[in-house]
Amino acid sequence: MDVAIIGIGLHRFGRSPDMSGMQQGASAVRAALADAGLSWSDMQFAYGGSQDAGNADTLVNELGLTGLQFTNIWNGCATGGSSLHAAYSAIKSGEYDVGVVVGFDKHPRGAFNPKPADWGIDEWYGETGMMLTTQFFALKTQRYMHEHGITEESLIRVSEKAFKNGSLTPTAWRQQALSYDEIANSAMISDPLRKFMFCSPAEGGAALIICNADKAHLYSSKPLFLKTAVVRTRHYGSFEVFAPSQAMKVADAPTVTASKAAFELAGIGPEDIDVMQLQDTDSGTEIIHMAENGFCEHGEQEKLLREGATDINGSMPINTDGGCLANGEPVGASGLRQVYEICVQLRGEGGARQVPNNPKVGYTHVYGAPGLSGVNIISK
């Protein structure tokens, strides 16, 4: 049984001061239903999650008490990916024909401040100032640059591209393009990463209507197909966030294992992907994820970025809507925003940011604490 995506909805990321996170989730669901031409009462199941904005199944109070199966999913940055995987499995198993996946969030301003106990770590680690995701991404990027000859120029180019793409995206939070020099001269936050190289926690919602592909034509003239949805956790020896120590032994990152599994399940390779979304909590991480997802060799990024390969008109367009850098990261919604954007591109509805030459296959990737990754492959 194949799985189709027949409706997509977004509640614009950024700040919605007059709306709760839950309301932004409901707004995304309504948009996805309208896009599919369906109503809430048509939904047989729902999977949803948020980090800071409440229990997703409470959405029924806004959308209607229809008695559907609604399961809350919380899996860190892979919350959207895990919800999508659950929906994918529900359709694949033949149990259901049509349902919805929703993610939403509303975070306070400033960096995340996770509690050590939630991650199985004693208090001293947070008290002494080592429990920060920004630090981890800086530490990983610093080592990666050292090992693979990546320079600050590449970090700047990733941000430059993100904000340029954001300026072409009506739903993006940050719509102001930034020059190379503005990024290069922005404040150093956590060496080697500067202010305009980090994404910020934000607000927003995203939703997808998923259905049995055999019935997709009943609902939609433009269905897309979810070829695979994969979530993987870390192995011993990979360098992960919130780790008071790491093994000397080196293992593949969870992104590598998730990516390999996704390509294997879909029966295609990185060369078949026309447009992609790679987790860009910061510009260093996007660079690392280009190689970890199999799209280039480690160290090759410097040349690719200089040539503009990851631009909208390049050979491997990455984060065409500006990614997390330009949209911010409402954790529960972020992974589904990636899928939303890939669907927009595959439908050819990207407007000023549309990837040329009729892209047919798209890819999304998230990475998050404490070392997990989600990958989806979507095709026409």
Peptide bond into 370 cis (omega under 30): yes
With a CB cutoff of 8 Å and minimum separation 6, the contacts of 118 are none
Q: Which of 93, 110, 271, 357 binds other proteins (CB under 8 A)?
A: 110
Residue with tokens 């530490």: 139
Nearest of 175, 192, 233 to residue 353 by alpha carbon: 175
Q: Which of 6, 101, 138, 207 binds other proteins (CB under 8 A)?
A: 138
Is the C-alpha dihedral spanning 77, 371, 300, 142 positive or negative?
A: positive
Q: Which of 39, 95, 115, 352 binds other proteins (CB under 8 A)?
A: 115
Residue 212's φ and ψ, nearest 5 degrees, are: -60, 125
Q: Which of 44, 74, 119, 130 binds other proteins (CB under 8 A)?
A: 130
Q: Please report, for residues 14, 77, 146, 320, the alpha-carbon distance to residue 334 in angstroms, rounded to integers and kept in the order given.
A: 11, 8, 30, 14
CB of 331 to other proteins, least distance (A): 16
Q: Is 142 in the site for other proteins (CB under 8 A)?
A: yes
CB of 124 to other proteins, least distance (A): 4
Count CB-CB contacts under 10 A for residue 316.
Answer: 19
Q: How far apart are CA 54 and CA 62, in angstroms?
A: 13
In this complex, which beta carbon is closest to other proteins, that of residue 111 or of residue 265? Answer: 111
Span from 26-34, 35-43, 125-133, 327-335 in contact with other proteins (CB under 8 A): 125-133
Could you tell me which residues are beta bridge partners of residue 275? 362
The contact mask relative to other proteins for 176-195 (x = CB under 8 A, - = no) is -----------xxxxxxx--
In this complex, which beta carbon is closest to other proteins, that of residue 85 or of residue 140? Answer: 140
Residue with tokens 């990614």: 323
CB of 216 to other proteins, least distance (A): 44
CB of 147 to other proteins, least distance (A): 9
Q: Record the tokens describing residue 220, joined without a space.
A: 């939609």
How many residues in the shown chain lie near other proteins by CB under 8 A?
38
State the residues that interact with other proteins by CB under 8 A.
Answer: 110-111, 113, 115-116, 122-124, 126-132, 135, 138-140, 142-143, 146, 187-193, 236-237, 243-249
